[in-house]
Amino acid sequence: MKKLTTADYPLAETRPEHVRGKRGKLLEQITLQAVLAGEVDMADLQITPQALQDQAEIAADAGRPTLALNFQRAAELVDVPQDLIMSTYELLRPGRARSKQELLDRAGLLRDHHSAPTIADFILEAAEIYERRGLFTYRF
């Protein structure tokens, strides 16, 4: 499929038929009436990996490759449970992981069980740097 460009932006206006929440609902189906009828839950209001990949293509076309990379990392995190995201963030803070292995284990978990290879590589990169900079030290 042809890559998206800045001309396709904003997606909600140019391609509303492709913009869906996580349970597949279209924007036009998410109305106040639907909310009141109990037909909408938080999952319907969640962004999808596809939408983030689309925004990444647009950002890259706009000359913002690092923003695009962030959207790609985000795409992998969409289906990662909230608690795991919180604990991974916590683990990446200085001194939380007491050894490089803890980060390597977390990278493995995300790669093998959550289809998040880019995130896993990102954590491996952090592990190398943290080791070099002595960040696996006791802080509190």
Partner 1 sequence: MQCSSEEAEELRIGMAGFTSYAETVSVYGTEKSFTDGDDTPWSKAFLAAAYASRGIKMRCTSGAGSELLMGFHEAKTLLYLEARCLCLQRGMGVQGTQNGGIDGAPLTATVPGGVRELMAENLLAVWLDLECASGNDARSSESEIRVGAKILPYLIAGSDLICSGFGTIPAYDNSFNPSLFNAEEMEDYLVLQRDFEADGGLTPLAEHRALDLRARAVAAISAVLDELGLAQPTAEMQASVVVASGSAETRSFTPGEVAPISEAIKARGITVIDVIRALANRGFEAEAENLLSMVKLRISGDYLQTSAMIRNGRVVSAINDPNDYSGPGSGYRMTEERRQEINDIRDVLDQAEVLRVEATFEKAEMARIAYPGAGVAKFGRAPDEVVIGISPAFGVRLFQTTAGHRLSDVLRVMIGAITARGLRARVVRLHHTADTSFLGLSAARLSGSGIAIGIQAKGTAVIHAANRLPHNNLELFSNAPITQLEHYAGLGRNAAAYALGEAPEPVVVPTRGEAMGSRYHARVALIYAIETGLTEDGADPQEIDLRFLDANPGRQS
Report the interface residues with partner 1, using CB under 8 A: 6, 9-13, 19-21, 27, 30-32, 35-36, 40-42, 45-48, 51-52, 54-55, 58-59, 62-64, 66-71, 73-78, 80, 82, 85-86, 88-90, 92-95, 119, 122-123, 125-126, 129-130, 133, 135, 139
Nearest CB to partner 1, comparing residues 24 and 112:
24
Nearest CB to partner 1, comparing residues 2 and 82:
82
Shortest gap between Cβ of 107 and partner 1 (angstroms)? 12
Helices (H) and strands (E) in the chain, counts: 7, 0
Shortest gap between Cβ of 112 and partner 1 (angstroms)? 18
Residue 106 structure tokens: 């977390």
Shortest gap between Cβ of 100 and partner 1 (angstroms)? 13
The pairs formed by 49-57 with CB atoms below 8 angstroms and a separation of 24 or more are 49/75, 49/76, 49/78, 49/79, 50/75, 51/11, 51/19, 52/78, 54/4, 54/8, 54/11, 54/18, 55/11, 57/3, 57/4, 57/5
Residue 118 · residue 76 · CB < 8 Å = yes
Nearest CB to partner 1, comparing residues 20 and 100:
20
Nearest CB to partner 1, comparing residues 59 and 111:
59
Shortest gap between Cβ of 62 and partner 1 (angstroms)? 6
CA distances from 22 to 33, 57, 81 (A): 19, 20, 14
